[in-house]
């Protein structure tokens, strides 16, 4: 088993942290995992991304050319990874930040108003967790519970009070995606 996932968005949207939470969850579940960020000056104000590879054996490449899974939190990331997605892949798109539909018919796109959901929860910084929750609906290897446990175990002490909100954000995202997918299957 090997699953590759890219999370991308503006610097400050919590892209790298979301990826790390996923990596922690994978590690705690006994998988091999790599997390690799874009780094350097392009991080300052530009688009950040990280690649996570989860496998049950020694991981070769930590980078992936055609990801089967991706989360795009802004329009530039949507433009970039929509084109690069593997056929049959799942792309979670932050609908709050994009103004168009997908041009691909061979991938599953889940458009989720992550900003609005996060704001409804009282903190726009939860956007990343909402989107991650949506992705988790499509990743059978990791459950929502695994990621919530990872958050509890690895969130620094001074941020521990934020756990309930983060859990809720993940749950809302996951629920949204499940409904979205169910509706798609029904139609």
Partner 1 sequence: MTRELIKGNVAMAEAAVRAGLEAYFGYPITPQTEILEHLARRLPELGRAFVQAESEVAAINMVYGAACTGVRVMSSSSSPGVSLMMEGISYIAGTEVPVVLINVMRGGPGLGNIAPAQSDYNQAVHGGGHGDFPRIVLAPASVQEAIDLTVASFDLAEKYRCVTMLIADGNIGQMMEPAELPEMRPLLRKDWPWATNGALGRPRRILSSIYIDPPAEEVANLRMLKTWLEIQKNEVRYKEYFIEDADFVVVGFGTAGRIALSAVRTARQQGIKVGLLRPITVSPFPFAVLDELASRAQGFLVTEMNMGQMLQDVQLAVKGRAPVEFYGRTGGMVPFPGEILKEIQRMATTKLSLTADPRQAWLERMLAK
CB of 6 to partner 1, least distance (A): 13
Angle 143-145-148 from CA coordinates, rounded to 5°? 120
CA separation (Å) from 63 to 3, 66, 135?
11, 9, 19
Selected binder of partner 1 within 1, 12, 44, 58 (CB under 8 A)? 58
The CB density around residue 29, as the number of other CB atoms within 10 Å, is 16
Task: Give 20 or 47: the residue with its C-beta nearer to partner 1.
Answer: 20
Which one of 34, 94, 95, 96 is in contact with partner 1 (CB under 8 A)? 34
Of the pair 66, 145, the CB lying nearest partner 1 is at 66
Rule CB under 8 A: say whether 60 interacts with partner 1: yes
Examine residue 130 and tell whether it contacts partner 1 (CB under 8 A): no
Residue 40 binds partner 1 (CB under 8 A): yes
Any idea which residue has 């954000």 for tokens? 169
Full DSSP string of 12-57:
TS-HHHHHHHHHHHHHHTT-EEEEEE--SGGGSSSEEEEEEEEESS
Pick the stretch among 52-60, 69-77, 106-114, 122-130 that binds partner 1 (CB under 8 A): 52-60
The closest of 76, 57, 67 to 13, measured between CA atoms, is 76
Q: What residues line the site for partner 1 (CB under 8 A)?
A: 20, 23-24, 27, 32-37, 39-41, 58-66, 154
């Amino acid at each position: 088993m090997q699953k590759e996932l890219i999370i991308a968005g503006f610097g400050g949207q919590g892209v790298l942290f979301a990826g790390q939470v996923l990596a922690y969850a994978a590690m705690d579940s006994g998988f091999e995992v790599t997390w690799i960020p874009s780094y350097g000056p392009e991080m300052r104000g530009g688009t950040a991304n990280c690649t996570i590879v989860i496998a049950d054996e020694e991981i070769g490449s930590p980078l992936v050319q055609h990801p089967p899974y991706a989360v795009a939190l802004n329009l530039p990331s949507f433009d970039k990874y929509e084109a690069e997605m593997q056929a049959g892949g799942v792309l979670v798109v932050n609908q709050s930040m994009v103004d168009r539909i997908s041009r691909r018919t061979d991938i599953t796109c889940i458009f989720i108003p992550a900003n609005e959901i996060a704001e409804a929860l009282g903190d726009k910084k939860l956007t990343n967790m909402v989107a991650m929750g949506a992705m988790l609906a499509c990743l059978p290897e990791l459950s929502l519970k695994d990621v919530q446990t990872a958050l509890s175990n690895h969130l620094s002490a001074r941020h521990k009070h934020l756990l309930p909100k983060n859990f809720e954000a993940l749950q809302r995202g996951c629920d949204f995606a499940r409904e979205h997918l169910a509706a798609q299957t029904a139609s």
